[in-house]
Amino acid sequence: MINETHDAALTSWVPGADRAGGDFPIQNLPLGAFVVDARNEAHLCVAIGDCTLDLRRAAERGLLDGLTPNALDALCKPTLNEFMALGAASRKELRLMLSRLLRTGAARQHETQSLLHARTEVQMVLPASIGDYTDFYTSIHHASNAGKLFRPDNPLYPNFTQLPVAYHGRASSIVASGHPTRRPWGQLRRSGDTNPVFAPTGKLDFELELGAFIGTGNALGEPIPATAAEEHMFGMCILNDWSARDIQAWEYQPLGPFLGKSFLTSISPWIVTLEALAPFRTSIPGWPGRAPALPYLRGDGMDESGAIMIEVEVAIQTELMRQRGITPVSLARASFGEQYWTIFQMIAHHASNGCNLRSGDLLGTGTISGQDAGQEGCLLEKTMNGARPIALPTGENRSFLADGDEIIMSARCARDGYAPIGFGECRGRVLPSIHHAGAAAGAD
């Protein structure tokens, strides 16, 4: 999977692409969709340095000639779904073509240059029409820490090490980075009370996750073997699974999360492709030596290279911090490479009953946490369900999120011998709850 596009010595003529520490060097080339004017249809694009290249215009102007007619057609659509459905071959051809157009000394620099926009001048929108969204629960550290809060003697359910646990999420409320988070109302039972109330959540939380987009789907009734799971994965983004812990705690038994999660999910707008992630593949944690998974979750080479080293980070900036010009402070850093289950096992498990995955479907990895302090991927875990509030530089404390708080997530991959790449940002600010007409109905 490693080829000339991964060469760490490659540089680009695009401003900002060669800046040390930048997210979008020429070895990355993540795909997305943007609008310059919200009244117009979105165009697909690729991030490079400080710019985005308009892929629709590039296809129309003949800069991508050599791709199949289907691929050229798909790149002129407002979402990536059709291009995703074409599979890995088209994605790899596009990557190679873009790498050759954008590298230093490219013959068609002048023509390409006119199709660039400064990233600050465009608005990124959702990269795909997401038909279905499933959220997993695959960090053993998160599962252990969160489980300990509620079941100190038995934090990990016995199924955790046998299958990647998941629930079906809500696709309609997935938004791109920058969209605010309105504090949701819900039914919740406050500590010590017998009866629930209907009120704005008092325990608004984030969950630091990654998302994986499905490329080609599978037919209904035809499972995806673990060995083929990679062929169905398109690429990854950052995902914030906003959670209302008090609503969740009251509603989840016995069927799992519902309104405590479905009010909003934010993703970073760039999809880092499977090819861009290739240099950062690694062995699954605990291998060799870890008890093997059931055969349907195993494939050739998956133990050795199924995991992906992606470092994720979450930071907070409160309203008061913004007013005082204090930059966001980091709350946690963790490594997706330590996740107990790989994204490929999640895909194989999801389709193992014949459930059909479709191009543009989104899988959340579940909260990514590490074993140590400073590696907790949500406030529930970090503040021990509010018992141990965190102190901020303004003197403010947080057990859970307050109105005006902004959560900023980022992710990066680095390995000796390769150019480091980043995912951009997943950002969202908490807005106060709105008046809820239903809250007063029936009240005296």
- Give residues in contact with Ca ion (CB under 5 A): 135, 207, 241
Q: With respect to Ca ion, which residue has the nearer C-beta, 13 or 137?
A: 137
Helix or strand (DSSP H, E) at 60: helix 55-60
Query: Rounded to the nearest whole angstrom, what is the least distance from the CB of residue 239 to Ca ion in the complex?
Result: 8
CB contact set of 62 (below 8 Å; sequence gap of 6+): none
Q: For this structure, is 142 an active site residue?
A: yes
User: How many whole angstroms separate alpha carbon 189 and alpha carbon 297?
Assistant: 39
Helix or strand (DSSP H, E) at 316: strand 311-317
User: How many whole angstroms separate alpha carbon 317 and alpha carbon 155?
Assistant: 32
**In this structure, what is the dihedral angle of CA atoms 251, 253, 257, 260, given to the nearest 10 degrees?**
20
Q: With respect to Ca ion, which residue has the nearer C-beta, 207 or 230?
A: 207
State the residue for tokens 């946490």: 369
Backbone angles phi, psi at 285, to 5 degrees: -60, 140
User: How many whole angstroms separate alpha carbon 115 and alpha carbon 26?
Assistant: 16
Q: With respect to Ca ion, which residue has the nearer C-beta, 207 or 311?
A: 207
Q: With respect to Ca ion, which residue has the nearer C-beta, 81 or 369?
A: 369
Residue nearest to Ca ion (CB): 241
Query: Rounded to the nearest whole angstrom, what is the least distance from the CB of residue 366 to Ca ion in the complex?
Result: 5
Q: With respect to Ca ion, which residue has the nearer C-beta, 26 or 146?
A: 146
Asked if 402 and 311 count as a contact pair (C-beta separation under 8 A), the reply is no
Query: Rounded to the nearest whole angstrom, what is the least distance from the CB of residue 167 to Ca ion in the complex?
Result: 9
Query: Rounded to the nearest whole angstrom, what is the least distance from the CB of residue 43 to Ca ion in the complex?
Result: 31
User: How many whole angstroms separate alpha carbon 27 and alpha carbon 40?
Assistant: 30
Q: With respect to Ca ion, which residue has the nearer C-beta, 275 or 361?
A: 361
Backbone angles phi, psi at 123, to 5 degrees: -110, 125
Query: Rounded to the nearest whole angstrom, what is the least distance from the CB of residue 324 to Ca ion in the complex?
Result: 32
User: Which residue, 314, 317, 292, 316, is CA-closest to 303?
Assistant: 292
User: How many whole angstroms separate alpha carbon 315 and alpha carbon 300?
Assistant: 38
Strands 233-240 and 390-391: unpaired
Asked if 68 and 90 count as a contact pair (C-beta separation under 8 A), the reply is yes
User: How many whole angstroms separate alpha carbon 334 and alpha carbon 272?
Assistant: 18
Query: Rounded to the nearest whole angstrom, what is the least distance from the CB of residue 367 to Ca ion in the complex?
Result: 5
Active-site pick, 6, 142, 349, 350: 142
The angle subtended at Cα 25 by Cα 19 and Cα 30, nearest 5°, is 145
User: How many whole angstroms separate alpha carbon 56 and alpha carbon 167?
Assistant: 36
Q: Residue 154 carries which side chain, given as an amino acid letter?
A: N
Q: With respect to Ca ion, which residue has the nearer C-beta, 241 or 405?
A: 241
Q: With respect to Ca ion, which residue has the nearer C-beta, 207 or 405?
A: 207
Query: Rounded to the nearest whole angstrom, what is the least distance from the CB of residue 250 to Ca ion in the complex?
Result: 18
3-state class (DSSP) for residue 297: helix
Question: Which neighbouring-strand residues pair with 125?
Answer: 33
How many residues belong to the chain?
444
Catalytic site residues? 142
